[in-house]
Structure 1
Amino acid sequence: MILTIKLYTDAATRGNPGPSSAGVLIVTEVGQQQLFYKLPPTSNHHAEFLAAIKGFEAIINLYGTTETILFHSDSKIVISSIEKNYSKSYPEALATLVSLQEQCELVINRWISEKNNKGAHALALQGLHKFYSA
């Protein structure tokens, strides 16, 4: 039985807007999952929301909804939008993210600095390279 899941997400975008990918790092007491996803070409801020959505979808698919999730993001716009339950520019993405979070037992959202999100960042860059290299 897993007690707590740590979720780290980040997005990488080449250009703004441009090709984008998401990095998702899921850490549990028994190990970790390192995932990356191709995102549609978009702005970096929108890609950060999409990365968070991919992270919560992955957790729900892998572990269900009964665990405590500590969600970490270096995107101030994502964390502040969740806290306010408002986003002027990305209301649809925020609604999707909040809906996913509401399915989970307990979610604690936390902004972290870029230097503390290196794992998810590296995965996002890996995805950008894999999906968009010539």
Structure 2
Amino acid sequence: MFSLYTDAATQPQTGLSAGGILIIHDHQQTQLSAPLTATTNHTAEFEIARLGFEKLATLATDPAHTTVLFYTDSQIVNDSVAKHYAKHYQHLVDDLLAAQAPFQLVLTQWVPEKQNRGAHTLANQALHSAEDVK
């Protein structure tokens, strides 16, 4: 079983976004951050979640027999995955569901930001780095 936490950070004035990914398996953490192409926070949340599952697929020995506990502080990501639908973000929902498809079971849970501190911190660090480069 893997636990996957993702979070995105966006600077509205510049349109820069970055995300953080925290993967926990067998009491070991994998921490990743990445600049994102998204220019709004909602799209950034979907993008980093997809990237998190893509990375997890490379780490899991056998995704078809792997359960993932997916934690997000994005209400729209949580609701959209549950419904397999989002009025303005359907292509992003489809991309995320496709990234989840290789796994045996994905249990998605919304968590408050304070319970997603690891991914949140990684996202903010990556955003500050992106701002420094720009």
Q: TM-score range by the shorter chain?
A: over 0.9
Please give the alpha-carbon distance, in whole angstroms, between the structure 2 residues aligned to 1:23 and 1:131. 13
Please give the alpha-carbon distance, in whole angstroms, between the structure 2 residues aligned to 1:9 and 1:16. 23
Partner of 2:29: 32
Answer whether contact 1:17 1:43 (CA < 8 A) is retained: no
Partner of 1:101: 100
Local SS of the residue matching 2:37? strand
RMSD across aligned positions (CA)? 1.3
* Structure 1: unaligned runs, 5 residues or longer: none
Partner of 1:49: 46
Correspondence 1:9 to 2:29 = no
Query: In the superposition, relative to structure 1, how do residues 30 and 93 fare at CA in structure 2: closer, same or farther (>3 Å)?
Result: same
Partner of 2:76: 77
Please give the alpha-carbon distance, in whole angstroms, between the structure 2 residues aligned to 1:16 and 1:112. 27
Correspondence 1:61 to 2:53 = no
Local SS of the residue matching 1:47? helix
Local SS of the residue matching 1:103? coil
Please give the alpha-carbon distance, in whole angstroms, between the structure 2 residues aligned to 1:50 and 1:129. 18
Question: Structure 1, residues 44-67: CA drift from partner, whole Å, max 9, x if none?
Answer: 011000010010001001214131
Please give the alpha-carbon distance, in whole angstroms, between the structure 1 residues aligned to 2:96 and 2:38. 19
**TM-score when normalising by structure 1:** 0.93
**TM-score when normalising by structure 2:** 0.93
1:109 partner letter: T
Answer whether contact 1:21 1:125 (CA < 8 A) is retained: yes
Shift of 1:107: 0.6
Shift of 1:132: 2.4
* Structure 2: unaligned runs, 5 residues or longer: none
Runs of 4+ with deviation above 6 angstroms: none
